[in-house]
Homo-oligomer: A and B are copies of this chain.
């Protein structure tokens, strides 16, 4: 059968250390489940590439990637040499937008064997999905500085939302909630403070929700919603949010389950007109790079999500099971109280496939 074409982009920092483990596990799954995978190794979309060429990616990046079924991505960012807004806007955020990966999907789930920072919670108590709008909203470079460099400096930053963009992510979230047992959707908002976009966002949630009478809906302001991730995490099932609010909640959710170093993320173009992108949530973590101590689970789990998206649920489930087992039995990296290296933990997971 035609192989799936995967572009593997390690990027910066620990992205380069966890990528080999991700590939190791994907290759093991490919062998076991007879999945034809074909990898393209790509060293751009990195600050190293920027140092050499003055840009994050070659001019023909889109043409080079377009033929692929998915992008398997490590992390980008090396602020010591390239400011974050330059490296991110020159790579990851370009992918999300130009490949129209409008859904960013991130799980928050409590695992056995992973210490939970919240008191008195056990595996099974917390299990929800965050659906983040991934292409518009608060993340823009629109606006500017007036009276620049003077005491009268004024800065305008514009957020841009569209009905097209809001409705499709709300619809995706309602459908996801509908497909789950509890059928509950939380909509993040801040309509009491952000007076134009957020009341409008609330109205779009009502309009889209009209088609999903079985889904119960709860609108919550982002301030109290963040607080409830800590205080009442079991009440959540699916949470939908704008780009910025989704960014915050999808770090906070995994933090509450102790899995911030473990959390995967899927940047989806559900219609598959463009390649979707799968990446760990943790980022490039310059502070621990170079020691081979980064936890590879987020990268490996992201690979599982990729196979799921490509229609291979069997392989996804096998990888997640292997992760669950290694989290309980070890070997574990330092962040989980163990002393295993990135490589050792990756090999152990691969061996269980």
Interface positions of A (Cβ within 8 A of B) = 77, 83-85, 87-89, 93, 115-120, 138-145, 150-164, 190-200, 222-224, 226-228, 230-231, 243-244, 247-248, 250-252, 254-256, 260, 283
Contact = CB atoms under 8 A, between A and B. Distances in A.
A199 B155 CA distance: 11
Contacts of A163: 150-154
B162 A195 contact: no
Given A116-B119, A119-B117, A157 B260 contact: no
Contact of A154 (B140, B153, B161, B222): B161
Q: Which 8 pairs of residues, A with B, have the shortest CB-CB distance?
A: A227-B255, A84-B192, A157-B197, A153-B163, A141-B195, A223-B251, A143-B196, A155-B161
Contacts of A193: 85, 88, 93, 138-139, 243-244, 247
Contact of A159 (B141, B157, B223): B157
Given A119-B116, A158-B143, A223 B247 contact: yes
Contacts of A199: 83, 85
A83 B200 CA distance: 12
B85 A191 contact: yes
A244 B248 CA distance: 12
23 contacts: A84-B192, A85-B193, A85-B198, A88-B193, A118-B230, A140-B194, A140-B195, A144-B196, A150-B163, A152-B163, A152-B164, A155-B160, A155-B161, A155-B162, A156-B158, A157-B161, A157-B198, A193-B243, A194-B244, A223-B251, A226-B252, A248-B248, A252-B252
Contact of A251 (B141, B224, B243): B224
A282 to B, nearest CB: 9
Contacts of A224: 251, 283
Nearest to A256: B230
Contacts of A115: 119
A145 to B, nearest CB: 6
B195 A85 contact: yes
A3 B247 CA distance: 49
A154 B160 contact: yes
Contacts of A151: 163-164
Contact of A192 (B88, B195, B230, B255): B88
B77 A192 contact: yes
Contacts of A250: 223
A14 to B, nearest CB: 14
A152 to B, nearest CB: 7
A151 B204 CA distance: 11
A152 B143 CA distance: 22
A81 to B, nearest CB: 14
Contact of A196 (B156, B223, B230, B244): B156
B196 A222 contact: no
Contacts of A227: 251-252, 254-255, 260
A160 B171 CA distance: 31
Contacts of A161: 154-155, 157
Given A153-B162, A153-B163, A227-B260, A138 B248 contact: no
A164 B250 CA distance: 33
Contacts of A143: 158-159, 196-197
Nearest to A260: B227
A194 B139 contact: yes
